Structure 1
Amino acid sequence: MSEQYLNVEQLRAKLGNRSLSSINRDIANGTLPAPIILGRKRYWPLSAVDARMAEKFEMAQSDAE
Structure 2
Amino acid sequence: MSSELIKSIFSTSLFEGVFTFIQLVVIPTTLWILLPGIVLGIIFRSKETYIIGTVLGLFAMITLGPL
TM-score with structure 1 setting the length: 0.34
Which structure carries more strand by proportion? 1
Q: Which has the higher contact order (CA 8 A, sep 6+)?
A: 1
Which structure carries more helix by proportion? 2
Greater CA radius of gyration, 1 or 2? 2
TM-score with structure 2 setting the length: 0.33
